[in-house]
Amino acid sequence: MQVAAEKEILLVGNPNAGKTLLFNRLTGLHGKVGNYPGVTVECRRGQIDLKNHPRASLVDLPGTYSLCPRSDDEKLTIDSIEQVLQKHHGPRLVVVVVDATHLERNLYLVSQLLEAKVQFLIAMTMMDAARAEGILVHTEVLSERIGVAIVPVCALTNEGIPQLLDAIDECSTTLMGISISTSPEQVRKRYAQVEHWLDGAYQKPPVIETMTDRVDSVALHPVFGPILLLGIFAVMFNALFVWAKPIVETLDLIKGGATTFVLPLFSEGSLLGSLVTDGIIAGVGSVIAFVPLIAILFLFLGILEDSGYLARATFLLDRVMSRVGLPGRAFVPLLSGFACAVPAIMSTRVIESRRERLLTMMVTPLMSCSARLPVYGLLIAVVFSSAPPIWGLVEVGSVVMFAMYAIGIVVALLIAFLLKRFLLKGESPALILELPPYRLPRMSSLLRGVLLRVQVFLREAGTVILAMTIILWALFTFPRHNDLSPAEQMKASYAGRFGQLIEPVIAPLGFDWKIGVGLVASFAAREVLVSTLGVVYGLRQHGEDAPVPLQKAMAHDINPRTGKPVYTPLVALSLMVFFALAMQCMSTLAVVRKETKSLRWPVFQFGYMTVIAWLCSFTVFQAGTLLGF
């Protein structure tokens, strides 16, 4: 019996037209949705249930304004359409998603598809927004003029979704290939064609000042705009420290309680007991305690994305970024770098010029990603938590956290300027950016996004960090010397010997051999530094009935040579600066290798970031020491 071929449906359309939201509604999946262009940089695939084609596959392609690609993400869209039309043997269909509030621009892509003789249907989104703005769309007239079926939909309310599914089920094409003219004359003809289609079928009310216009009068103001931008990020960093602090402390206490509960289950001196309590619970538990920091960060970033403010931030920063050689579109990857450098590197595909894209990839990892947050949070809690608030209002930890993010941004701009001047010379293209209307973020979408990010972090904690923690425990535990104290045993272990070997290189930065082991191990995942210290201080307290929380153990650790605390504010600052600037993420290097198709660029990136991190950390520690700190 021959199995029916799977139906392939491609969603194409302009950036920010609502493709991904429609994709989520049709498939029941939860692809990332954002109120700014450039969210989708890869193909997403899901399944939809149709009456005649139960195995239908729906593909969400990156947004494109034209079938004549200017950037890698647009080229991906065109290549995907051609591959499906030429190689797919079953029924296939292109669904063009157009925004009802911006038909003049969206229908240009439709005119190209008609010229290419690709059969398709139109899903007209944002119908609720169009009605709210008083826009009238006579879809029947428009459909007749274009000669293509048009289905008005609103993915938020499910309006028109059943009708769209029926239309998709009934329509398919067997045409091959895409051939588009790029002559200026043909461009003018297409715009004239769009004008003809819309004449009398698309009516907008007289232009009046909208809520978006009123907010933008402040948000885009040359003086008040940057002040508002700084204020928003200052509130975010203060929240990272203040809101998360009690939750982090509670989770740290729970970790200690878990150790106390589990310890009696093993015999005294049991290696398995040491692995569970001093290794897994102390190591992984120390990292998990900082999940609230990550959740709050992603909540704020989600609000900025969904509200439409990100596009305004891009516009505001374009002048500064263009002066150092970065294109305005680099802002989205750079901001994404605050979450994780891996998807941020991939999102550089929205940048048209390969030179500008390389430039952005080289500096994006300097943005403080969420993996650095546990390190910042731990060190701030150890040395700054007891400091009185500045002016009685602002926590010192908030200022330090802000400074760590700021140093990454400043160094990124400086490196971009140098690379643009000496290595990646060329003119930066002008920024052409659509400013979407402001929208209230949907709480369900926000919470789902935060939960997804936390799950990714916990999954990493359950795999990479767990594996590294077990390896570190073994390296700190063996070879066994039963006649030595816990502290002496660690120093005589494999990890201790390695740490002492590299200590001369890191001692000028204020780091001891224990931190050195953590720095090397954290190349697998930056959070491993926290789990390394968790293992170290867990083993040092091995056998004690009431283990001291990691933060308190670190705060009370005394350097036997100097008689002073190991973790002073100066040492903590030096270590945070190193982490803010160093390339300690093999996953990021792997994706840079993949995107550039060259080993040269990730090697260069690792080298320059490591050197800069060492020099800046050296400067902080040595200058602070000379000044008596």
Q: Is the pLDDT of residue 174 over 60?
A: no
Does the model's pTM come out above 0.85?
Answer: no
User: Which pLDDT score is estimated for 190?
Assistant: 87
Contact between 564 and 558 under an 8 Å Cβ cutoff? The reply is yes
Q: How confident is the model at residue 574 (pLDDT cuts 50, 70, 90)?
A: very high
Averaged pLDDT for residues 273-282: 88
User: Which pLDDT score is estimated for 95?
Assistant: 94
What percentage of the chain reaches a pLDDT higher than 90?
A: 32
Q: How confident is the model at residue 74 (pLDDT cuts 50, 70, 90)?
A: confident
Q: Is the pLDDT of residue 122 over 90?
A: yes
User: Which pLDDT score is estimated for 335?
Assistant: 80
User: Which pLDDT score is estimated for 363?
Assistant: 95
Window from 170-174, 177-181, 225-229 with minimum mean pLDDT: 177-181
Q: Is the pLDDT of residue 295 over 60?
A: yes
For residues 33 and 97, give the distance between their C-alpha atoms in angstroms, rounded to a whole number.
Answer: 15
User: Which pLDDT score is estimated for 33?
Assistant: 55
- The mean pLDDT of the chain is 85
* Mean pLDDT comparison of 69-78, 148-157, 254-263, 440-449, highest-scoring range: 148-157
Q: Is the pLDDT of residue 2 over 50?
A: no
> What is the distance, to the nearest Å, from the Cα of residue 469 to the centroid of all Cα atoms in its chain?
25
Q: Which 8-state DSSP code applies to residue 371?
A: G
For residues 458 and 36, give the distance between their C-alpha atoms in angstroms, rounded to a whole number.
Answer: 28
User: Domains of the chain, with CATH numbers?
Assistant: 8-203 (3.40.50.300)
Q: Are strands 202-203 and 120-125 parallel, antiparallel or unpaired?
A: unpaired
Q: Which 8-state DSSP code applies to residue 280?
A: I
pLDDT digit string, tens, across residues 414-433: 999 999 988 887 766 666 66
pLDDT digit string, tens, across residues 42-60: 678 888 888 887 778 898 8
For residues 609 and 612, give the distance between their C-alpha atoms in angstroms, rounded to a whole number.
Answer: 5
CA dihedral 99, 103, 108, 113 (to 10 degrees): 60
Averaged pLDDT for residues 283-296: 87
pLDDT digit string, tens, across residues 522-561: 988 888 899 888 888 887 776 565 667 888 889 888 887 7
Burial label for 267, CB within 10 Å (0-12, 13-18, 19+), is exposed
User: Which pLDDT score is estimated for 115?
Assistant: 84
Q: Which 8-state DSSP code applies to residue 597?
A: T
Q: Give the angle subtended at the CA of 155 by the CAs of 118 and 126, to the nearest 5°.
A: 75
Q: Which amino acid is at 455?
A: Q
Window from 206-210, 490-494, 612-616, 620-624 with minimum mean pLDDT: 206-210
User: Which pLDDT score is estimated for 3?
Assistant: 47
Give the three-class secondary structure for 552: helix
Residue with the bigger pLDDT between 609 and 552: it is 609
pLDDT digit string, tens, across residues 176-196: 455 555 566 778 888 899 999
Residue with the bigger pLDDT between 439 and 376: it is 376
User: Which pLDDT score is estimated for 462?
Assistant: 78
Q: Are strands 92-99 and 136-137 parallel, antiparallel or unpaired?
A: unpaired
pLDDT digit string, tens, across residues 491-520: 899 999 999 999 999 999 999 999 999 999
Q: Which 8-state DSSP code applies to residue 565?
A: B
Q: How confident is the model at residue 227 (pLDDT cuts 50, 70, 90)?
A: very high
Q: Which helix (H) or strand (E) holds 136?
A: strand 136-137
For residues 289 and 378, give the distance between their C-alpha atoms in angstroms, rounded to a whole number.
Answer: 10
Q: Is the pLDDT of residue 86 over 80?
A: no
* Mean pLDDT comparison of 179-183, 444-448, 559-563, 588-592, highest-scoring range: 588-592
For residues 534 and 278, give the distance between their C-alpha atoms in angstroms, rounded to a whole number.
Answer: 8
Contact between 613 and 578 under an 8 Å Cβ cutoff? The reply is yes
For residues 619 and 616, give the distance between their C-alpha atoms in angstroms, rounded to a whole number.
Answer: 5
Work out whether the CA dihedral 290, 296, 302, 308 comes out positive or negative: negative
Greatest distance between any 2 Cα atoms in the chain: 92
Q: What are phi and psi of 516, to 5 degrees?
A: -60, -45
Q: How confident is the model at residue 466 (pLDDT cuts 50, 70, 90)?
A: confident
For residues 283 and 471, give the distance between their C-alpha atoms in angstroms, rounded to a whole number.
Answer: 11
Contact between 353 and 327 under an 8 Å Cβ cutoff? The reply is yes
User: Which pLDDT score is estimated for 519?
Assistant: 92
